[in-house]
Amino acid sequence: MTFDLKGKRALVFGVASEDSIAWAIAQELARHGATVTMGYQKRFLSRVMGLFKDTPWIDGWHECDVTQEDSVQRFFEEAEGTFDMMVHCIAFAPATALQDELIRTTSEDFGTALDVSAYSLVRLCRFAEPKLNDGAGVVCLTYLGADRVVPGYRVMGTAKAALQELTRELAVCMGGRAIRVNAISAGPIRTLAASGVPGFDNILDWMAHSAPLKRNVTQQDVARSALFMLSDLGSGVTGQTLYVDAGYSAVGVPPELDKVRLPGQAAKPIAFGVQ
């Protein structure tokens, strides 16, 4: 039982910039000795080239559009050898679906969000399975919007709920070869994808105020938990969602409610206790 990942190989999908959660996870795996093969989306080529080229622990990087069957097939033909870990850090919803009220979401936008953000895990697992070694770990990234309504998250909440259910289903499908499939529900982090969520800065402020740890999580916090779930340390864990959110999901009502002033509310603190 060890954190030593020397000789282990990981597939990482979802690096778009140095702020990407996928980039932090890849770096964490590499810090423990793993080599990494990257799948990137063509539109981010110029951004990721600077990160990938001449990085000794990256043993290959290939374009992969997860919505295109032939693109995923080509990726897995080009990615040589077998792998011990796979990381899915992929999400997208059309701007129209994020900016308008959910009730006006078109079925086309709904389909796009679910295809990219949820079904892509099924597609990647299907193509990856023959190349994943027995006992491999798979991790995807989800958000609290899957469980509860978060303003501005809209159709992505449904997509993440689907992703979490697919995590459980795939854990059963792949468990026969001891391949484990888990999800990390990360607190809000400033990234390219997050910048598309309306009101994201307010969510960051609210979380930092209300979470038990009194701060937002970082890419590094998420990467460390991914390391646990992908390595042998997580050998008995599959089909689960781990909340890496500074404890926010454990709280029903923020403990410092007396410091929150609602519109029109008098400045006096709320009185607690039985009257």
Active site positions, annotated: 143, 153
State which amino acid sits at residue 5.
L
Per-residue interface string for the shown chain with ligand NAD, residues 197-216, x marking contact by CB under 6 A: --------------------
Map residue 245 onto helix, strand or coil.
coil
Nearer to ligand NAD, 75 or 83 (CB): 75
Contacts with ligand NAD in 20-39 (CB under 6 A)? 20-22
Q: Is residue 119 near ligand NAD by the rule CB under 6 A?
A: no
What is the SS3 assignment for 115?
Answer: helix
Q: Is 45 helix (H, G, I), strand (E, B) or coil?
A: helix
- Shortest spacing between CB 262 and ligand NAD, in angstroms: 26
| Nearest alpha-carbon partner for 177 in 129, 237, 134 | 134
14 is an interface residue for ligand NAD by CB under 6 A: yes
Closest CB to ligand NAD among 135 and 151?
151
Binding of ligand NAD by 243 (CB under 6 A): no
Q: How far is the CB of 272 from ligand NAD (least distance, A)?
A: 32
Rounded to a whole number of angstroms, the distance between the first and last alpha carbons of the chain is 56
**Contact call for residue 12 and ligand NAD (CB under 6 A):** no
Amino acid at 139: V
Measured distance CA(226)–CA(246) in Å, rounded: 15
Binding mask of the shown chain, residues 72 to 91, with x at each position contacting ligand NAD by CB under 6 A: -----------------xxx
3 state DSSP class of 253: coil
Q: Where are the beta strands (DSSP E) in 57-150?
A: 58-63, 83-88, 132-142
DSSP states of 145-201 as a string? GGTS--TTTTHHHHHHHHHHHHHHHHHHHHGGGT-EEEEEEEPP--STTGGGSTTHH
Question: In the bound complex, what is the minimum distance in angstroms from residue 92's beta carbon to ligand NAD?
Answer: 4
Residues 130-189 contacting ligand NAD, CB under 6 A = 141-143, 186, 188-189
193 alpha carbon, distance to own chain's centre: 11
By CB under 6 A, is residue 41 in contact with ligand NAD? yes
Rounded to a whole number of angstroms, the minimum distance from the CB of residue 207 to ligand NAD is: 10
Interface with ligand NAD, residue 15, by CB under 6 A: yes
Q: Are 116 and 217 contacting, i.e. CB atoms less than 8 angstroms apart?
A: no
Site residue total, ligand NAD (CB under 6 A): 28
221 scored as a contact of ligand NAD (CB under 6 A)? no
Number of other CB atoms surrounding residue 179 within 10 Å: 23
* Separation between Cα atoms, residue 162 and residue 142, nearest integer Å: 10
Q: Which of 79, 193, 223, 227 binds ligand NAD (CB under 6 A)?
A: 193
In the complex, minimum distance from the CB of residue 63 to ligand NAD, in angstroms, rounded to a whole number: 9
Looking at beta carbons only, is 10 or 66 nearer to ligand NAD? 66
Binding interface with ligand NAD (CB under 6 A):
14-17, 20-22, 41, 44, 64-67, 89-92, 116, 141-143, 186, 188-189, 191-194
